Amino acid sequence: MVDAYLTAAQQPNAEYSALSFVRGDLCFDLAEYMPRLTVPTAIIWGKQCQFTSYEIGQRLAELNPKAIKVLEILEDVGLTPQLELPSVTIGLIRKFLTML
């Protein structure tokens, strides 16, 4: 995992994306865009995330129940379920791909 992050950080112009992330430039309110979503969607959300609570995920999913087919909240996971529980995340993605 560390090697993957290091490789990504060494790509051309990577310093700009890292700086944008740290400054919060990549943060925006998805609520404005959720009602416009037309693609069937599944969301995986970590309940222990310290930046965005799972209640925010629930609120976002409720903004467009026609497109948001499932919201899976993982109990013992934070911001990065794909890193914290990769096997579970992969299993969920496979399940959701067949559903959607």
Q: Model's pTM, two decimal places? A: 0.78
Most distant CA atoms of the chain, gap in Å: 40
Interatomic CA distance for residues 99 and 95, integer angstroms: 6
Lowest mean pLDDT among 20-24, 32-36, 92-96: 20-24
- What is residue 4's predicted lDDT score, i.e. its pLDDT? 74
Give 41: exposed, middle or buried? Use CB within 10 Å, 0-12, 13-18, 19+.
middle
For 45-76, the pLDDT digits (tens) are 999 998 889 999 999 999 999 999 999 999 99
